[in-house]
Amino acid sequence: MFITGERAGRKYNVKPSQVFVGVGSDDVLAMAFLTFFNSDKKILFPDITYSFYDVWADLFKIPYEQIPLDEDFRIIPEDYSKENGGVIIANPNAPTGVFMGLDGIRAVLDKNRDVVCIVDEAYVDFGAESALSLLEEYDNLLIIQTFSKSRSMAGLRIGYAIGSETMIKYLNDVKYSFNSYTMTSLTLALGVEAVRDDEYFKATCAKIVKTREKLKTDLKGLGFEFQDSKTNFIFAKHASVSAEHIFTELKKRNIYVRYWNKPRINEYLRITVGTDEECDTLVTNLKEIIAQGEK
């Protein structure tokens, strides 16, 4: 843990004592919920966001309120000014792919100086901007990142939080009273090597971004609509064929995208950016499904 903490510290220009490492960011998020979201006041997070936030809130008996995104799936910072017990935002958000600029994050932090605001940056490496630069100014900011997405190392389980030394100390206090040694030495060694190989990391991120931009063009050409994505997926809706129909047809052809039959998002598909070949196969099949669906 300290090895990776030191590495991450050097990489991000923060002290090792400002880094908390855990078994994937899900573990880090759970620890952060336990440590910081413990008043009787509601914590706030968007109505459409990472599906684990309400699960943990329920599990840990933390009261919460889901704040609606606007029609374009954007977070409205002003909506986070009501009294609360903490805030958690995924930026870019999932499954929408929408990124809120640092002005927005700053606005949320300014309105919430007395509570902890977590920014979950699971997808930040695919072309978004991290809030790391705001850390010096805001001691209420806790940033959480993961090796599971942009580093393609989900199976190794490495996640981490960066924040003030005080917050990281509290996180460690909770963790050590729960389960002290959660990461294997092999995981730590491989994590360190992954951080060292910055060239490979940058190349793979750039590759995904390039494929994503091409896929955006192709999807638009097929009549899909979506907000701009800064992640490794696109959350898209077709102008005339239902998402459920497309989802079912793709599944028959062994192509898997994600679909949620939930209010506000039941006309959307979350399409992961695969390899160039995979995306081409997807587009070819979508073309057929849409042509049939529109008849």
| CA atoms of 89 and 100, how far apart (whole Å) | 10
According to the binding rule CB under 6 A, does residue 273 interact with ligand PLP? no
According to the binding rule CB under 6 A, does residue 25 interact with ligand PLP? yes
Piece in contact with ligand PLP (CB under 6 A), picked from 21-29, 185-193, 247-255, 279-287: 21-29
Which residue's CB comes closest to ligand PLP?
Answer: 24
What is the four-CA torsion angle of 105, 106, 107, 109, rounded to 10 degrees?
Answer: 90
According to the binding rule CB under 6 A, does residue 146 interact with ligand PLP? yes
According to the binding rule CB under 6 A, does residue 235 interact with ligand PLP? no
| 139 burial level (CB within 10 Å; 0-12, 13-18, 19+) | middle
User: Smallest gap, in angstroms, from Cβ of residue 144 to ligand PLP?
Assistant: 7
User: Smallest gap, in angstroms, from Cβ of residue 148 to ligand PLP?
Assistant: 3
Give residues 122-141 in contact with ligand PLP (rule: CB under 6 A). 122
User: Smallest gap, in angstroms, from Cβ of residue 268 to ligand PLP?
Assistant: 16
Give residues 48-67 in contact with ligand PLP (rule: CB under 6 A). 50
Pick 148 or 211: Cβ nearer ligand PLP: 148
According to the binding rule CB under 6 A, does residue 159 interact with ligand PLP? yes
Piece in contact with ligand PLP (CB under 6 A), picked from 76-84, 146-154, 266-274, 287-295: 146-154
According to the binding rule CB under 6 A, does residue 26 interact with ligand PLP? yes
According to the binding rule CB under 6 A, does residue 154 interact with ligand PLP? yes
User: Smallest gap, in angstroms, from Cβ of residue 193 to ligand PLP?
Assistant: 18
Of 4, 18, 140, 148, the one binding ligand PLP (CB under 6 A) is 148
Of 44, 62, 85, 120, the one binding ligand PLP (CB under 6 A) is 120
According to the binding rule CB under 6 A, does residue 90 interact with ligand PLP? yes
